Amino acid sequence: MRPQGAKRSVSKKWIILTIILLLLIMLRLILPGVILKKTNKILAAFSPNYSLHIDDLRLHIFRGAYSFHGITGLMKEDQKKFLEVDTIDVSLAWRDLFKGQMNTDIVADGARFLLIKDIKKLKIPKKEEKETARSKLFPLKIERFDLHDGSITLEGYEALDEKTHFTINDINGRMTNLVPDDKNALSYFNLTAKIVDPDATLKVAGSLNSKASPLKWDFDAEMRNFHLNLMNPYFKKHMPLSFTKGTLDLYSEVISEDGKMKGYVKPFIRELDVVANKEHFKNAKHFGFELISALGNLILREKKTKSVATKMDFTFDKKFKLNTGKTLSKAIQHGFEQQLSPGIEDQYKLE
């Protein structure tokens, strides 16, 4: 027979657990509304250019997280929508918690950005305004950021159909070590995206040193199997050329140090066939395009693979400079002497 004191002890434990559970439920029901109201008030006034609004805030107490749902950004001047995000999940980075560090992981799903045409006219928010907004949304330091199913629309550029704006779709990426220190100063990022051709994926990977002044960064980029005939609507309108066939692979490396940028772009076009459209040539400029198509088909195209390739080295130090002589010589070398090798050359790397 169990002693009466033991029964009372067990009963007291259940009462305490029940009270704690009820408190957690009350916090879960009451806190989100209170926090959401105060947060939206701050986000509506923190910037001279735009305001942010969150439809719903949910707490996930047992996994140490909270999430925003239905985030919208509006320009104050004309109420134009420049941002929509389905959900943003903010959770404790448990791997850092065991090291005694309080950092967070952020996952954004369905983020759609509109880059405003007159972005240069916008007033830059003051540092304290940006810090206020960041601290309200993400009070702990951010260690990792993931983006799923994002898109960027460029208001100042038309799509190929010239009826909509140019859009980069299916953006998925990750950025890590957003809390760098002296021992590990580099943050790393990678992303994939679709541009025009649904069969071709753009891949970008790189690093940045946010502790350096000016900022140091580098990236490698690769896009393969882009079908050039998708560009024909643009070329037919702006120049009398079109591609009957041809697939573009593109490789690039870029690095920026001490405020100066340098890099290269290597285009490889396989099974190239360029033709001049059967229309009246209006001027010498149009005749020049016919010569370009002849160069592509007969002179620069490598005979066995019917490919055209070159390497375009460039620099940017207040002014963009392209090494045109080397670009042409590389194209001729590929067509007549030795084929250029596709792929990233690992020529630039941030230390």
Domain ranges of the chain: 32-179, 207-351
Pairing of strands 103-115, 141-158: parallel
pLDDT at residue number 279? 44
pLDDT at residue number 116? 79
pLDDT at residue number 341? 84
Rounded Cα gap, residues 35 and 136, in angstroms: 9
pLDDT at residue number 287? 41
pLDDT at residue number 329? 82
pLDDT at residue number 303? 57
Rounded Cα gap, residues 74 and 80, in angstroms: 5
pLDDT at residue number 17? 64
pLDDT at residue number 133? 64
Question: 221 with 203: CB under 8 angstroms?
Answer: yes
pLDDT at residue number 245? 77
- In the chain, which residues have pLDDT < 50? 1-2, 6, 277-292, 294, 298-299
Sign of CA dihedral 288, 293, 297, 302: positive
Ramachandran region, residue 79 (left: φ > 0; alpha: ψ -120 to 50; beta: rest)? left
Q: Please classify residue 122 by burial: count the beta carbons closer than 10 Å to its beta carbon, then call 0-12 exposed, 13-18 middle and 19+ buried.
A: middle
